[in-house]
Structure 1
Amino acid sequence: MNKLKIETFIGEEDIYAPVYKIESYPITNPLAVEKAQTILEENEGDYLCGFVSLIYNDVVIFGEEQLTEDLLDTWCDLIYIFDSHYDGRLHRIVF
């Protein structure tokens, strides 16, 4: 049986960490709302940082490595692919 898991995370790079680190919360976590509000305030409401995790049959297709500053654009591209019943043609996803 094919298993698809899609999850959205709100978060950004922790520029003060001694090693590269992303502080993120799944959107189901109440802390994600606070984090989103902080990020939106810092970016004057224009950008929401985070990433989308896509796992198919326990294989990570993309995730934290594709941190985006605009989750809306990323989701618009994903919705286009899902809504148009993706047929294997090349389609660009903005991360």
Structure 2
Amino acid sequence: MRHATALSIALLVLASAGASADDLEHGHQLASRWCAACHAIGGEPSRFRRAQPFAAIATKPGVTREMLVKFLLLPHATMANNPLSAADAADLADYILSLGQ
């Protein structure tokens, strides 16, 4: 049930307009707090080989905002399970995608 609720909320967030500068800044703050221990969120290398740099994720063919939001809201065996809201996941996804531009 939690999975269905999180997905429903994520889809509502996805229906909103594009990311604002505040959304991107919030996404950067979330990445710095929760993701930077493993992933490269800027120009530095990732600390772990399996943790792809965000810029590499952003430029992978087929990666979309919707896919990232869904991924971020689900628990993962190889990642820390951080308590992201749908809005947080959307801001983080927008930040990740901004690194590929």
Same fold (TM over 0.5): no
The structure, 1 or 2, with the larger RCO (C-alpha pairs under 8 Å, 6+ apart) is: 2
The structure whose residues are more often strand, as a share, is 1
More helix per residue: 1 or 2?
2
Scaled by the length of structure 2, what TM-score is found? 0.27
